[in-house]
A and B are shown apart, each in its own frame.
Chain A
Amino acid sequence: DAGVTQSPTHLIKTRGQQVTLRCSPKSGHDTVSWYQQALGQGPQFIFQYYEEEERQRGNFPDRFSGHQFPNYSSELNVNALLLGDSALYLCASSLLQGASTDTQYFGPGTRLTVL
């Protein structure tokens, strides 16, 4: 049973560019959440997708956007990259529909470096 997968593993971009990160949830899960983890800090919630819609959003600017596909996979897009966007981006999946628990399982992350 495959866990949460993310691609790419590492990415280097320059300021002003745009980036797309991808996530495939754990088999049987229907919800994807994205988190940003700056170096030496705890992860910060960006947004959550369920049934192809953004269900909740954290305190991140509109430059951060996302999408969920019918197969539950998800993309995170960041426009007009800033140096401060350099971080580890984590995807987490969970089961919302009919679930009795709210446990989220994380992928290995994508390390984004903005130069």
Chain B
Amino acid sequence: GNSVTQMEGPVTLSEEAFLTINCTYTATGYPSLFWYVQYPGEGLQLLLKATKADDKGSNKGFEATYRKETTSFHLEKGSVQVSDSAVYFCALSDRGSSYKLIFGSGTRLLVRP
């Protein structure tokens, strides 16, 4: 079945450092890929998405490219801020499973001033 694997956290960075959070997926069809962010005590916010191979999703300085050849969707940001501290979830959905979202286990990011 479909699945998503994320790198273990927590990831601790200093402000203005470069961020990479790895995400790989297993899917039988052609899924859409998503990154969601969850701030403490809140629900999930959509950060970015990509719906087909080689698409790049971007938002608020974050980027991720849909790589079908490596089944990956790594999240990157060139310069993190303290306000980026949160838990980041990689997820996929596909038509064959009625678009239900399958999530990774989440990666906690802590950015120090």
Contacts and interface: CB of A to CB of B under 8 A. Distances in A.
Interface in A56-94: 56, 58, 88, 90, 92, 94
A5 to B, nearest CB: 11
Contacts of B101: 33, 35, 43, 45, 92, 104
A41 B6 CA distance: 12
Contact of B93 (A6, A40, A102): A102
Contacts of A106: 36, 43-46
Interface residues of B, number: 24
Interface residues of A, number: 28
Given A56-B97, A106-B43, A107-B43, A45 B102 contact: yes
B58 interface: no
A96 B98 CA distance: 9
A87 to B, nearest CB: 13
Interface in B14-61: 32, 34, 36, 42-46, 49, 51
Given A101-B32, A102-B95, A43 B44 contact: yes
B44 A103 contact: no
A58 B2 CA distance: 13
B49 A103 contact: yes
A42 B98 CA distance: 19
Nearest to A105: B46
A55 B95 CA distance: 12
B60 to A, nearest CB: 16
B24 to A, nearest CB: 15
